[in-house]
């Protein structure tokens, strides 16, 4: 191999420093440093510290760390946003990851602080973070108050906008006129679908708490008439009629029994020839790649990530055939399958 023994050791030390890297991203996002520097010329660390009401000593170290990671640029005049920061870290830019980063810091990171115990005992880490069993991660945890719900929705919106175009265009969906996005949250994917398919009507189906707060997430140029919102619980309530159902980042959250309930119900309402589109990160057959999905599994929620073969077998078990999988190269891959025409 091309790597010397020291270089391999160096790689491990980089892994150890991964924590430091996270913290720099979290803290600089929380302090809104990239908003402060947006559209400005360079600012000195003293100016930034004054604006943040923070110490000069600490601010300077944080700004240098941001520069080391390529989040800021440093010249003799001071610090300014890098292109990366302007594209993704400013809180109100189109593809902002700001809210997603804060979500990971506030909600996901605590799940990892009990990893050792979770590995020993096999318990879900939600248990520690939520302080109770956390039967339903959404209704018992993320949506326990309005502020937490808003944060969660902002985080989903921010990450969904990154993936929506690739999910919507992975397959030719022009044959479907009536589409229902189950757990579609703020409608980010629905919006992208209607941009690509002008004849498509999409119903975004999600919990009542979510649907009551979707308005602030709608783009100013609405595709009026093409998108509608419908509230309900996909385990308990009737699903809107549709030619294509979508489950984007839904299946990996749930235990086998819940998946069984949801897919049985979907299979029953799907008319022959209608379809199901699943968007998830698909694992390789060894189950060790992509690393981000494998690491996410360490939160040990009730659900799990699956490989191409596992998704195919799961969907076929519920009467869906012609399973096609598209690895997009983006954060989400896409699976399309069709409800089997039952033999006469």
Residues lying near ligand SAM in the complex (CB under 6 A): 138, 156, 160, 183-185, 206-207, 210, 233-235, 248-250, 253
Q: Which of 98, 157, 191, 252 is catalytic?
A: 252
Min separation Cβ 32 and ligand SAM, Å: 24
Closer of 48 and 279 to ligand SAM (Cβ): 279
Closest C-alpha to 234, from 215, 253, 218: 253
Torsion of CA 307, 246, 168, 139, to 10 degrees: -90
Which residue carries 């400005």 as its tokens?
40
Min separation Cβ 322 and ligand SAM, Å: 23
Closer of 62 and 168 to ligand SAM (Cβ): 168
Q: What share of the chain is helix, strand, coil (3-state, %, to 5)?
A: 50, 15, 35
Q: Are strands 72-75 and 78-81 parallel, antiparallel or unpaired?
A: antiparallel
Min separation Cβ 208 and ligand SAM, Å: 9
Return the HEC string of 306-317.
CEHHHHHHHHHH
The residue whose Cβ lies closest to ligand SAM is: 183
Min separation Cβ 12 and ligand SAM, Å: 32
- β partners of residue 202: 179, 227
Residues 6+ apart with CB under 8 A from 327: 282, 333
Closer of 24 and 129 to ligand SAM (Cβ): 129
252 included as an active-site residue:
yes
d(CA 140, CA 150): 15
Whether the bond into 320 is cis, omega within 30 of 0? no
By annotation, the residues acting in catalysis are 252
């Amino acid at each position: 191999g091309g790597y010397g023994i020291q270089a391999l050791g160096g790689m491990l030390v980089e892994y150890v420093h991964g924590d430091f890297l996270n913290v720099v991203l979290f803290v600089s996002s929380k302090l809104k440093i990239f908003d402060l520097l947006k559209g400005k010329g360079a600012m000195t660390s003293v100016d930034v510290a004054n604006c943040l009401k923070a110490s000069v000593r600490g601010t300077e170290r944080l700004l240098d760390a941001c520069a080391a990671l390529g989040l800021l640029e440093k010249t003799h005049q001071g610090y300014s946003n890098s292109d990366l920061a302007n594209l993704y870290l400013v809180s109100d830019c189109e593809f902002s990851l700001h809210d997603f980063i804060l979500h990971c810091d506030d909600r996901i990171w605590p799940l990892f602080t009990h990893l050792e115990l979770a590995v020993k005992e096999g318990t879900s880490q939600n248990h520690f973070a939520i302080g109770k069993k956390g039967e339903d991660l959404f209704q018992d945890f993320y949506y326990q108050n309005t502020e937490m719900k808003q944060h969660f929705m902002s985080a989903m919106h921010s990450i969904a906008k990154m993936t929506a175009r690739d999910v919507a265009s992975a397959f030719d969906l022009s044959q479907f006129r009536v589409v229902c996005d189950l757990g579609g949250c703020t409608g980010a994917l629905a919006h992208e679908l209607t941009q690509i398919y002008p004849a498509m009507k999409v119903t975004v189906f999600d919990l009542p708490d979510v649907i009551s707060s979707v308005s602030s997430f709608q783009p100013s140029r609405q595709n009026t008439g093409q998108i509608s919102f419908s509230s309900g619980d996909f385990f308990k309530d009737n699903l809107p009629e549709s030619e294509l159902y979508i489950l984007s980042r839904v299946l990996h959250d749930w235990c086998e029994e819940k998946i069984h309930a949801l897919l049985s119900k979907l299979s029953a309402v799907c008319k022959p020839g209608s379809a199901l589109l699943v968007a998830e990160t698909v694992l390789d057959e060894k189950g060790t790649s992509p690393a981000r999905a494998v690491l996410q599994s360490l939160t040990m929620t009730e659900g799990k990530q699956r490989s191409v073969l596992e998704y195919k077998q799961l969907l076929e078990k519920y009467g869906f055939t012609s399973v096609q999988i598209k690895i997009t190269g983006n954060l989400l891959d896409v699976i399309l399958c069709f409800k089997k025409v039952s033999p006469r």
